[in-house]
């Protein structure tokens, strides 16, 4: 099995990009250790603070954010970072080649029940000569991403990673402390009979998603002519990982539960990196009306609806979103 750096070199990654990814991975290995210690290291539970999203921060949110921020900026190759937990961007080296965005601990509400959580990251090119303190340098469509990935903290610590040459899976070998390439090329089956969605919000969805899910639930007797199973982990990183492993469709559609926040997932920290991984594995990703990675961001904390997974099933869902 190949180690991380040799595998990245074979995909054409240069030395600076490899070093940056290794720094992200180093932070994730430390997060994995902290997560694994759980109650023993007093990292469970919430702080008394809220993040910029208005969400109560878990202790591990804060720890993970600081670890990633410190190790990424120490590389010297990063002009600035943008984190879901930070109100604004954090400047780094004005001559840095890269920008990094990340969700330090996706699904952090799962920490207290010892369920799946993970770190999601994206690497963008830095506009040379730009002001590192200017958040607008991050407002690039997902198609500009140089690399993206997530690290899943489960029974094993796994990383899905793409540099635009397909999606690969790595597993943390705790014997020597590094990630080994365990899946050379992830390929999402085009056809599926599994869907992942938060059904408790059903009454707030738009009609297109209401009708699509209603037809899935009708099973063999309905218009789809087959039975579907529902799976829901309540952490995007876990649901997307399942799709990369065996197919499926994941949706977090627009809803009217909170009219001020009709969309849940963040474009830069969640939707774009996950879309890059899914598309590089042969899947598809959309808002229901446009390809996610073509969206021109207008704000670093912008939220969007997300539908992604097995290509043919995503296309079936899109048919419900077409104007009548």
| Binding site feature residues | 84, 103, 105-109, 198, 264, 270
In whole angstroms, give the CA distance from residue 311 to residue 283.
Answer: 5
Q: What is the CATH number of the domain that holds 91?
A: 3.30.540.10
Tens of pLDDT, residue by residue over 224-247, are 999 999 999 999 999 999 999 999
Residue partners of 319: CB distance under 8 A and separation at least 6: none
Q: Each residue of 30-72: pLDDT tens digit?
A: 999 988 887 776 666 555 465 556 555 678 889 999 999 999 9
Query: In Å, how far from its chain's centre is CA 36?
Result: 21
The 10s digit of each residue's pLDDT in 99-110 is 999 999 998 888
Phi-psi group of 49: left, alpha or beta (phi > 0 → left; psi -120 to 50 → alpha; rest → beta): beta
Classify residue 130: in a domain, yes or no.
Answer: yes
Global pTM reads 0.95
pLDDT at 176 (0 to 100): 87
Q: Which domain holds residue 226?
A: 194-320
What's the number of domains the chain is made of? Answer: 2
Mean pLDDT over each residue of the chain, to the nearest integer: 94
- Please state the residue numbers annotated as binding site for substrate: 106-109, 198, 264
Binding region for Mg(2+)? 84, 103, 105-106, 270
Q: Of 202, 212, 152, 206, nearest to 182 (Cα)? A: 152
Strand partners, 122: 101, 148
CA 146 to CA 123: how far, in whole Å? 6
Pairing of strands 194-196, 229-230: parallel
- Pick from 162, 172, 183: which is nearest to 283 by CA? 162
- Which CATH number goes with the domain that contains 222? 3.40.190.80
Give me the pLDDT at residue 110, please.
Answer: 83
What digits encode the pLDDT tens for the residues 112-142?
A: 888 899 999 999 999 999 999 999 999 999 9
- CA–CA distance, 11 with 21 (Å, rounded to integer): 13
Proportion of the chain above pLDDT 90, given as a percent: 84
């Amino acid at each position: 099995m190949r180690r991380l750096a040799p595998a990245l070199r074979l995909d054409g990654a240069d030395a600076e990009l490899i070093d940056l990814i290794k720094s992200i991975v180093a932070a994730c290995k430390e997060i994995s250790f902290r997560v694994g210690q759980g109650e023993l290291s007093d990292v469970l539970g919430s702080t008394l603070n809220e993040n910029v999203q208005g969400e109560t921060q878990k202790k591990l949110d804060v720890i993970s954010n600081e670890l990633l921020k410190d190790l990424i900026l120490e590389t010297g190759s990063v002009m600035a970072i943008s984190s879901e937990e930070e109100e604004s961007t954090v400047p780094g080296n004005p001559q840095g080649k890269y920008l990094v965005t990340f969700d330090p601990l996706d699904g952090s509400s799962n920490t207290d029940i010892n369920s799946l959580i993970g770190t999601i990251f994206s690497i963008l090119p830095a506009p040379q000569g730009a002001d590192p303190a200017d958040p607008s340098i991050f407002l690039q469509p997902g198609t500009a991403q140089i690399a993206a990935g997530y690290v899943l903290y489960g029974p094993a610590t796994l990383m899905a990673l793409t540099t635009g040459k397909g999606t690969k899976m790595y597993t943390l070998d705790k014997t020597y402390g590094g990630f080994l390439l365990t899946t050379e090329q992830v390929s999402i089956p085009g056809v599926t009979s599994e869907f992942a969605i938060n059904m408790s919000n059903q009454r707030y969805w738009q009609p297109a998603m209401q009708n699509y899910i209603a037809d899935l639930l009708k099973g063999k007797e309905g218009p789809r002519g087959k039975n579907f199973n529902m799976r829901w982990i309540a952490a995007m990183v876990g649901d997307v990982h399942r799709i990369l492993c065996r197919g499926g469709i994941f949706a977090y559609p627009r809803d009217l539960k909170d009219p001020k926040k009709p969309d849940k997932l963040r474009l830069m920290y969640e939707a774009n990196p996950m879309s890059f991984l899914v598309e590089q594995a042969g899947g598809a990703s959309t808002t229901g009306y446009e390809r996610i990675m073509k969206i021109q961001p207008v704000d670093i904390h912008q939220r969007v609806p997300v539908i992604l997974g097995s290509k043919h099933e995503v296309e079936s869902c899109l048919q419900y979103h077409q104007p009548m």
